[in-house]
């Protein structure tokens, strides 16, 4: 018999889930609300929840003061470009580790992950100098490369996990059927791993979009993405919370919408292989 | 044409030698079955022929050309896997067409061959389905279809029926045999099931720990097993192997008597014993007889009408003309 779930129990669980959900969502909600307040209302004590004079003034000011589209475009190129580049590099890497593992494969995987544990600031200086030397400081190319490299271990790890779930016999069948390695990856492996690859791409776009350390340190005006756009509204003095919130809302809106529409795919991908 | 010749082939995984030097010839058009207990190296041997594993030393010739270093796709062989290994994201039609597409064949020819294979295998109504929507038997047919469209030099089957239920297995066994008769192409078939080996093979290769124990036709193996291993492995129920005084009486270390070569009676016979388990199959009855003083259990295959029950004392007479004799090394004495 299935486990009996009483209606009270169900209601309680629902309430708990909503509470946790709201707590997680609260900072975003507060940012969005604040973006519609005046600067004075934004720092009012006690805080005003909903009954303030709703205004679009902050958005107007932000639009006027900076070129949102340019930042947005930079974000799209850097997040999209670094993800695409990362996946192109990671698919063959994950393929070889999943299907022709050597004695060192586990070590390589752990070593790659260990680079994520290094404080980014530790390599800022050398990377900064390399960027100057190569003349790619404050360029989209430079930023795309560095962000791709930063997220590459995660992409390889995720793809590796998905590829592991694909039975090796199917790839052997492709080999017997005359597929070259390239054809095997394009026609057999990739289509079978689509859910995994899709969620890897989504997660990586989100990570790259939100990346602030490198984007803030390696850009000035030309290649600055939305993270730099937000940061430019924070200042040591004066009232800026409402405008900062408006900028933040504009910066997170695209990724929020993307996440909303792809949440099913994202959850499916992240639990891929866990349930057969 | 698919004559496959293995010369001094060995395979080691690290320090472990799975296949000691081995020579084997499979003639064109022959149905060869590799049989042996699990872990005997039969699948490894098949994978070496397929090219999915590299030989450690030795050579493999297919149609007279040295294929040892040729990648699997170029060997002109087709393989059917235990798990069917169908492409789950492709329709049945695309699955069957895949090898032809890889061979860059033109679409009209691909369609013709796929439709041909589908009608031979009764798959015509399922061509637009995905493998996930098919039953086990149908999936197996798709896997076979994918193999036959290529018109390969030889087919390799790796325990293709072991995922099917018993009734379906018997049906598919016959379909594969019929296919072999129709195509007259070399087939190499790996199984641990000696019944499959006996019913399908032209030539059985019995393997143990990577060594070939005996090669021969099913009846050769049944009639004159080269050693006690083959004697025990081929035939169902298993041959009774008896050591000790009874064997000495026949000037052998071990004598073997097949269950179907023992007469039972309630009054007189050479041996006596007490029936342990009696398995009534209708057509036959298998008696597992204890307390014979010969071996722990003597298995007897009697007519279905013979009605002894558990605990009955019975008399048994082996047929001397089909008695198998083995020496202390387990080798056959003629």
- Distance of CA B319 to CAs B122, B264, B269, B291, Å? 47, 11, 11, 20
Residue A175: its chain B contacts at CB < 8 A?
Answer: 52, 71-73
B82/A173 Cβ within 8 A:
no
**What confidence category does residue A192 fall into, taking pLDDT thresholds of 50, 70 and 90?**
confident
B293 CA: distance to closest CA in chain A (Å):
50
- Asked whether the predicted pLDDT for residue A275 surpasses 50, the reply is no
Tell me the per-residue pLDDT of A158-173, one tens digit each, with 9 for 90 and over. Answer: 899 888 888 888 999 9
pLDDT value at A139 more than 80: yes
Most confident of A200-204, A272-276, B255-259: B255-259
Task: State which residue of chain B sits closest to A178, comparing Cα positions.
Answer: B73
Q: Which of B72, B62, B81, B210 is nearest to B157 (CA)?
A: B81
- Predicted local distance difference test score (pLDDT) of residue B154: 93
> CA nearest A190 in B: which residue?
B89
pLDDT the model gives residue A273: 46
pLDDT at A269 over 90: no
Residue A195: pLDDT above 60?
yes
What ipTM did this prediction achieve?
0.84
Which pLDDT does position A276 carry in this prediction? 34
Q: Please list every residue in chain B whose beta carbon sits closer than 8 Å to the beta carbon of residue A180.
A: 73
- Residues of chain B with pLDDT below 70 are 1
Query: pLDDT band at A271, cuts 50/70/90?
Result: low
pLDDT of residue B220: 94
Is the per-residue pLDDT at A237 higher than 80? no
What mean pLDDT value characterizes chain A?
86
- Min distance A171 CA to chain B CA atoms (Å): 8
For B195-254, write each residue's pLDDT tens digit: 999 999 999 999 998 899 999 999 999 999 999 999 999 988 999 999 988 888 889 999
pLDDT value of residue B79: 93
User: Does the beta carbon of A179 lie under 8 angstroms from any beta carbon of chain B?
Assistant: yes
B10 min Cα distance to partner chain A (Å): 21
Tell me the C-alpha to C-alpha distance, in Å, between residue A188 and each of A126, A175, A255, A260, B103.
41, 10, 31, 30, 16
Q: What is the DSSP string of B289-322?
A: EE--SSSS-EEEEEETT----TT-EEEEEE-GGG
pLDDT, residue B33, reads 95
Query: Would the pLDDT of A42 be above 90?
Result: no
From chain B, pick out residues whose CB is under 8 angstroms from the CB of A172: 52, 72, 79, 81, 85
CB B119 within 8 A of CB B126: no
Name the percent of chain A lying above pLDDT 90. Answer: 25
Q: What is the mean pLDDT of residues A63-91?
A: 90
- What is the pTM assigned to this prediction? 0.78
Q: Using a CB-CB distance cutoff of 8 angstroms, which residues of chain B are in contact with residue A182? A: none
Q: Is A262 helix (H, G, I), strand (E, B) or coil?
A: coil
Residue B129: its pLDDT value, please?
Answer: 92
Q: Are the Cβ atoms of B73 and A173 closer than 8 angstroms?
A: no
For residue A189, what are the contacts with CB-CB under 8 A and spacing of at least 6? Answer: A95, A163, A166, A171
């Amino acid at each position: 018999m299935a486990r009996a779930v009483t209606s009270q129990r169900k209601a309680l669980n629902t309430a708990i889930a909503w509470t946790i959900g709201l707590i997680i969502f609260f900072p975003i909600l507060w940012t969005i609300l604040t973006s519609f307040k005046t600067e004075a209302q934004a720092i009012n004590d006690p805080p005003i929840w909903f009954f303030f004079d709703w205004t679009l003034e902050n958005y107007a000011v932000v639009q006027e003061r900076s070129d949102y589209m340019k930042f947005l475009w930079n974000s799209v190129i850097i997040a999209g470009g670094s993800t695409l580049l990362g996946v192109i590099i990671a698919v063959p890497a994950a393929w070889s580790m999943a299907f022709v593992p050597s004695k060192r494969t586990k070590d390589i995987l752990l070593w790659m992950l260990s680079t994520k544990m290094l404080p980014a600031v530790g390599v800022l200086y050398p990377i900064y100098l390399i960027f100057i030397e190569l003349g790619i400081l404050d360029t989209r190319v430079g930023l795309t490369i560095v962000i791709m490299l930063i997220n590459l271990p995660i992409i390889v790890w995720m793809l590796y996990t998905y590829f592991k779930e694909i039975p090796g016999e199917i790839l052997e069948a492709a080999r017997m059927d005359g597929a070259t390695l390239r054809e095997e990856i394009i026609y057999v492996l990739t289509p079978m791993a689509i859910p995994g690859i899709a969620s890897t791409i989504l997660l990586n776009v989100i990570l790259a979009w939100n990346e602030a350390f490198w984007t803030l340190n390696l850009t000035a005006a030309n290649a600055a993405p939305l993270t730099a756009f937000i940061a430019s509204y924070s200042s040591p003095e004066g009232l800026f919370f409402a405008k900062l919130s408006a900028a933040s809302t504009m910066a997170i809106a695209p990724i929020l919408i993307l996440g909303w529409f792809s949440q099913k795919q994202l959850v499916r991908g992240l639990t891929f292989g866990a349930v057969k | 044409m698919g004559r496959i010749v293995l010369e001094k082939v060995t395979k080691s995984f690290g320090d472990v030698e799975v296949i000691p030097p081995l020579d084997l010839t499979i003639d064109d058009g022959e149905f060869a079955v590799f049989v042996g207990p699990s872990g005997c190296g039969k699948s490894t041997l098949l994978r070496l022929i397929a090219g999915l594993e590299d030989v450690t030393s030795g050579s493999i010739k297919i149609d007279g050309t040295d294929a040892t270093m040729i990648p699997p796709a170029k060997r002109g062989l087709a393989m059917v896997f235990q798990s069917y290994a169908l492409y789950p994201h492709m329709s049945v039609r695309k699955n069957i067409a895949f090898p032809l597409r890889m061979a860059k064949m033109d679409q009209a020819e691909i369609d013709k061959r796929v439709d041909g294979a589908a009608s031979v295998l009764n798959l015509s109504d399922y061509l637009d389905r995905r493998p996930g929507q098919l039953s086990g038997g149908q999936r197996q047919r798709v896997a076979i279809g994918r193999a036959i469209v290529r018109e390969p030099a030889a087919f390799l089957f790796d325990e293709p029926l072991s995922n099917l239920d018993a009734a379906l297995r018997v049906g598919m066994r016959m379909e594969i045999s019929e296919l072999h008769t129709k195509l007259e192409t070399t087939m190499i078939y790996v199984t641990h099931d000696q019944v499959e080996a006996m019913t399908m093979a032209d030539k059985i290769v019995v393997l143990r720990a990577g060594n070939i124990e005996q090669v021969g036709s099913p009846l050769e193996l049944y009639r004159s097993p080269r050693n006690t291993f083959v004697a025990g492995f081929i035939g169902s129920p298993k041959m009774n192997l008896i050591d000790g005084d009874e064997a000495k009486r026949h000037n052998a270390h071990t004598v073997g008597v097949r269950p179907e070569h023992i007469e039972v009676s309630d009054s007189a016979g050479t041996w006596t014993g007490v029936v342990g388990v009696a398995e009534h199959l209708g057509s036959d009855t298998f008696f597992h007889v204890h307390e014979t003083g010969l071996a722990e259990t003597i298995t007897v295959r009697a007519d279905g009408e013979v009605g002894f029950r558990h605990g009955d004392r019975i008399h048994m007479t082996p047929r001397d003309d089909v008695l198998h004799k083995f020496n202390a090394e387990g080798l056959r004495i003629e």
